[in-house]
Structures are given as structure tokens and as C-alpha cells.
Amino acid sequence: MKILVPVKRVVDYNVKIRIKSDQSGVEDSNVKMSLNPFDEIAIEEAVRLKEAGKASEIIVVTIGPEKAQDILRTAMAMGADRGVLVSTDLKIDLGGIEPLMVAKCLKALIENEKPDMVIMGKQAIDDDSNQTGQMLSALLGWPQATFASNIEIDNGQANVTREVDGGLETLKVALPAVVTTDLRLNEPRYASLPNIMKAKKKPLDNKQLSDFNIKLTPRLKLVSVEEPPKREGGEIVSNVDELLDKLKNEAKVI
């Protein structure tokens, strides 16, 4: 079984986000970038399936600038076999390459690679769109299982457990399928130094976004990006009656 894992290069989760002075987006110049945490979970799950003998090859794919090769090398150091970089100078966010464009590009790659399964993070931590996996499933006509907290492969189908409001739900989907990962699926491994060195020798294909004949007309318009308003300080009241009075007359919540 061949598994394809799409990944995204995002601002590192430890970095404090700064808004550009013109409010056109998030400042990413001279900022540490890293592999999207949800995508790390997807890579880890694919590697575990390969270690269990359920998968034979893992391909990681990203869309972005040339320097996005670093996250592909990280994924290969974790255990992926080869990488594909779709080069573009456009940003993967609102006003740039939107989720639908990403899904269309992935569809073209999948039709060429013919994987048996696509495992991807449920969302990226920069825009939190949570759309690409679902759109990709619809474009391919494949079944989907989102927010997976457990995945088991058996007899040509995937048994995917997901958390819902009422508890746990298990879906059985025939392969090929698209599965998106949630936080509780696994704990991603750290890439060891020997594996990092081996990853430098693994094959990495470089394609151009223009090769896929995808319309890049944005459907959404980014108006502005602003920081949330600062929280005001709390106030200590002397008794319950004063608290109720403020809730009723000032806060207007009762």
C-alpha cells in the first residue's frame, strides 16, 4: 500500500505571531518556520503503518517556495521514503493559494502517483481552515474520515475512530480514502541525527505549480488582519449583591 502525506510549512508554534504594519497578514520574514504539527501526526501514523507491514511506501508533498524543502527533509527523516515539492512563490493562505487550489493540485498529483491512502493533518495552525482534506475527498470521489484518533487497516478498508460530541464514532471506509488526523492519534517521533543524514540522500522531486493547469483566481478577499483586543483587568467585589448588580446593570448578562 502506498500512502501520500501532504504537509505545510508554517510559522513555528513557539513563535509569537506579529501582524504586519499594513495589516495585510502575519509577519513571516526572518521568522522560524517548521512543519505543521497536525502534519507531523499524519507522517507519524503513516510511518507506523509501514512499520506494521501495512504500507510499502510513503510520499510527502508540499506546495511552497524552494526553501520549503526543509520540511520535506524533516518528514523523510521521520521515515517518509521520498518527497515532492510543488514550487510557487505564492503564499498558501487567504489572498494567495486557497484550500480549493491546494486540493486541486493534490488531486493532480494523486492521479499521477496513485496512492492507496491519503493521510493529512486536519488543519494548519496558521489559517485553521480545516477544508483541504474534505475538498480533496470530494474532487477525487473518495470516501473520507476526518479528525481520526485511531486508524486500523484491514482487508482493504480503514477503520477510523473519531471523537464526536457524544463520545467515539468508528467509521469504516473502503480504500483508497482520505483521512485527516487529530491531536490524540499519536505522539510524533523526533528525527534522529542518523535519519536526518539519510534523509539528505532520499529522492526529492521538484515540480512547478504552473504544470498543473490550475486556475489561481482567489475566491476570497482578505480585508485585514488584526490582533484580538487586549483583555481588560478584572474587578473584585465585596459581596454577592454587588456582583449581581454589576452582572445585571453593567454586564447586562442577567
For the domain that residue 168 is a member of, what is the CATH number?
Answer: 3.40.50.620
- 7 or 212, greater pLDDT: 7
Residue 104: inside a domain? yes
What pLDDT sits at residue 225? 83
Contact 81, 57 (CB under 8 A): yes
Contact 94, 17 (CB under 8 A): no
pLDDT (mean) for 166-190 = 92
Mean pLDDT score of the chain, rounded to an integer? 89
pTM: 0.84
Express each pLDDT in 121-177 by its tens digit: 999 988 888 999 999 999 999 999 999 999 999 888 999 999 888 889 999 999 999
**pLDDT at 179 > cutoff 90:** yes
Residue 175: inside a domain? yes
Express each pLDDT in 14-45 by its tens digit: 888 888 888 877 777 788 889 999 999 999 99
Residue 254: inside a domain? no
**pLDDT at 233 > cutoff 90:** no
Residue 187: inside a domain? yes
Separation in Å, CA 150 to CA 11, 77, 153, 175: 27, 23, 10, 16
Express each pLDDT in 76-107 by its tens digit: 999 999 999 998 877 766 556 788 889 999 99
Residue 231: inside a domain? yes
Q: Which domain holds residue 25?
A: 2-249
Number of domains in the chain: 1
Measured over the CA atoms of residue 126, residue 63, residue 175 and residue 157, the dihedral's sign is negative
Residue 92: inside a domain? yes
Separation in Å, CA 131 to CA 123, 134, 221: 7, 6, 17
